[in-house]
């Protein structure tokens, strides 16, 4: 990238106050990588935008395009001389003030220099990989990933871009080290902080150290653990989110974000080389406004999701069910998660129940939804209602049988995103009732409701 290109797009994502290099001064970065900061505190310390007429909520800049007073200004904006930091906007596929503001909030929450928001989690992931990798490039990735990301890395990127991936067990640091190629073609280590759906926890500090030894950029999908884990503060370079999930919380929008160094985020917005600017998955300003209004209560929502998931998984285990939850002492990554987690959030809002066969899993979900109204059979997560799906035949169905086996996805694995509607005891009573009915007719193929 030429210096002009970098300067041209760099204006938009940075706070107004700069040091000489153009990057935020230390006090402007809400949470430096070296300090443990509560993401809720960092978010509250970020600039609050008021509405045009003094409203407590910011105004929505719903324009696709922006006018100028003088024709010369247009040329100066396109040359990069005038940018969003001085309130000059060109076109909303590039920067939009409302989306930019959400990016500032996301950067504050994750403790990164910058962030920009996208139209989906997948577009955030694809855009960052396309920005960091060139044709002939290579990625090392965890073998436990969301099915869509797995398919992007295993099938789409090799075919469309000649970018290949080696999938490894990222709990084996030596395997990660060995998978990084000596010829310098490996540019990214891609992991999920808590993996979908198997709930294994990535050792972000150790993996970042291994990757950084070899000049590899660490990208962490933190969709399962906003607030409770801060991968960038633990050493990762880039954090991606499917905002669709917990951050939205309403199961009503599809959205994503890339949080990382200002240089990377700016490069993604570059007029000539930027993956977000040129492929176009920018976020709509109305969606950005909606999400900005929900971020301030994300910490409260996460605490309740996590609390209920811990109570339910503890009780399920006592009942003899095979439950996977990193908050349980016997989960192999319990202590690792405890060592990395931000205090007082808990261990995540997702638990898995291994019912061993798809048929048993389906019967339990059928009872939970249709007999006792405990939750909904639906993919996705982070909603206020409990959502349940059998991962192997739904959100991980893109993976081959072998890939599922090596990721630890059994055919009867139910992923349960624990909601917080109703009271905890009301919901638990419903769960127990469904379980009793399942046990009363253990072999009936279609449990009658
Ligand atoms: C961990 C994870 N990352 C990314 C995505 C993709 O996000 P979106 O559906 O917002 O594109 C998902 C979707 O389920 C996910 O679970």
Is the predicted pLDDT of residue 3 greater than 60, yes or no?
Answer: no
Q: Given this model, what pLDDT does residue 11 score?
A: 33
Q: Given this model, what pLDDT does residue 376 score?
A: 98
What SS3 class is residue 399? coil
Is the predicted pLDDT of residue 250 greater than 50, yes or no?
Answer: yes
As a whole number of angstroms, the distance between CA 438 and CA 444 comes to 9
Q: What is the number of the ligand 1 atom nearest to the C-alpha of 123?
A: 11
Q: Given this model, what pLDDT does residue 2 score?
A: 35
As a whole number of angstroms, the distance between CA 148 and CA 391 comes to 12
* Tens digits of residue pLDDT in 178-225: 999 999 999 999 999 999 999 999 999 999 999 999 999 999 999 999
CA of 319 relative to ligand 1 center, distance in Å: 32
- The mean pLDDT of 367-383, rounded to a whole number, is 98
Site to substitute for ligand 1 among 244, 250, 287, 383, most atoms within 8 A of C-beta: 244
Asked if 109 and 295 touch (Cβ cutoff 8 Å), the reply is yes
Band (449; pLDDT cuts 50, 70, 90): low
Percentage, residues of the chain above pLDDT 90: 85
Q: Given this model, what pLDDT does residue 34 score?
A: 45
Band (29; pLDDT cuts 50, 70, 90): very low
Question: What is the Rg, in whole angstroms, of the alpha carbon atoms belonging to the chain?
Answer: 22
| Closest protein CA for atom 7 of ligand 1 | 121
Using the 8-state DSSP alphabet, how is residue 96 labeled? -
In 357-431 the beta strands, taken as DSSP E runs, fall at 376-377, 387-390, 413-417
Backbone conformation region of residue 156, classed left if phi is above 0, alpha if psi is from -120 to 50, else beta = alpha
Q: Given this model, what pLDDT does residue 408 score?
A: 87
- The mean pLDDT of 440-449, rounded to a whole number, is 60
What SS3 class is residue 111? coil
φ/ψ of 215, rounded to 5, equals: 70, 25
Using the 8-state DSSP alphabet, how is residue 331 labeled? S
350 vs 36, residue with greater confidence:
350
Q: Given this model, what pLDDT does residue 407 score?
A: 86
Is the predicted pLDDT of residue 33 greater than 70, yes or no?
Answer: no
Q: Given this model, what pLDDT does residue 395 score?
A: 86
| Closest protein CA for atom 10 of ligand 1 | 121
pTM of the model: 0.92
Q: What is the number of the ligand 1 atom nearest to the C-alpha of 125?
A: 4
Query: Mean pLDDT over all residues of the chain?
Result: 91
What SS3 class is residue 4? helix
């Amino acid at each position: 990238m030429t210096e002009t290109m970098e300067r041209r797009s760099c204006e938009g994502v940075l706070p107004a106050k700069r040091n000489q290099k153009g990057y935020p001064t230390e006090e402007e970065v809400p949470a430096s990588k070296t300090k443990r900061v509560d993401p809720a505190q960092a978010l509250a310390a970020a600039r609050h935008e008021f509405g045009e007429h003094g409203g407590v909520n910011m105004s929505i800049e719903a324009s696709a395009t922006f006018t100028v007073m003088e024709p010369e200004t247009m040329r100066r904006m396109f040359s990069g001389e005038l940018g969003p930091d001085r309130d000059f906007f060109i076109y909303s596929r590039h920067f939009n003030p409302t989306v930019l503001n959400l990016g500032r909030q996301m950067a504050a929450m994750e403790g990164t220099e910058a962030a920009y928001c996208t139209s989906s989690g997948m577009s955030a992931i694809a855009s960052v990989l396309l920005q960091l990798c060139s044709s002939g490039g290579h990625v090392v990735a965890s073998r436990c990933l969301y099915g869509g990301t797995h398919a992007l890395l295993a099938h789409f990127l090799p075919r469309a871009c000649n970018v290949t991936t080696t999938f490894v067990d990222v709990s084996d640091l030596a395997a990660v080290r060995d998978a990084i190629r000596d010829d310098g073609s490996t540019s990214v280590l891609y992991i999920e902080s808590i993996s979908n759906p198997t709930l294994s926890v990535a050792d972000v500090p150790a993996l970042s150290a291994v990757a950084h030894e070899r000049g590899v950029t660490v990208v962490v999908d933190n969709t399962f653990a906003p607030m409770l884990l801060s991968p960038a503060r633990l050493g990762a370079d880039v954090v991606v989110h499917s905002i669709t999930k917990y951050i939205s919380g309403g199961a009503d929008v599809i959205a994503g974000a890339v949080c990382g160094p200002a240089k990377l985020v700016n490069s993604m917005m570059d007029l000539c080389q930027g993956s977000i600017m040129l492929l176009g998955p920018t976020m709509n300003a109305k969606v950005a406004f909606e999400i900005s209004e929900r971020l301030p209560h994300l910490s409260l929502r996460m605490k309740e999701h996590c609390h209920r998931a811990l109570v339910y998984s503890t009780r399920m285990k006592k009942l003899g069910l095979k439950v996977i939850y990193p908050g349980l002492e016997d989960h192999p990554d319990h202590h690792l998660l405890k060592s990395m987690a931000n205090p007082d959030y808990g261990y995540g809002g997702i638990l898995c129940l291994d019912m061993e066969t798809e048929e048993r899993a389906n019967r339990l979900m059928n009872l939970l939804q249709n007999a006792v109204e405990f939750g909904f059979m639906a993919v996705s997560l982070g909603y206020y209602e409990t959502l349940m799906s059998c991962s192997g035949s739904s959100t991980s169905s893109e993976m081959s049988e072998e890939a599922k086996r090596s990721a630890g996805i059994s055919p009867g694995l139910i992923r349960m995103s624990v909601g917080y509607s109703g009271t905890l005891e009301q919901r638990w009573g419903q769960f127990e009732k469904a379980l009793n009915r399942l046990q009363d007719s253990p072999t009936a193929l279609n449990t009658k409701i």
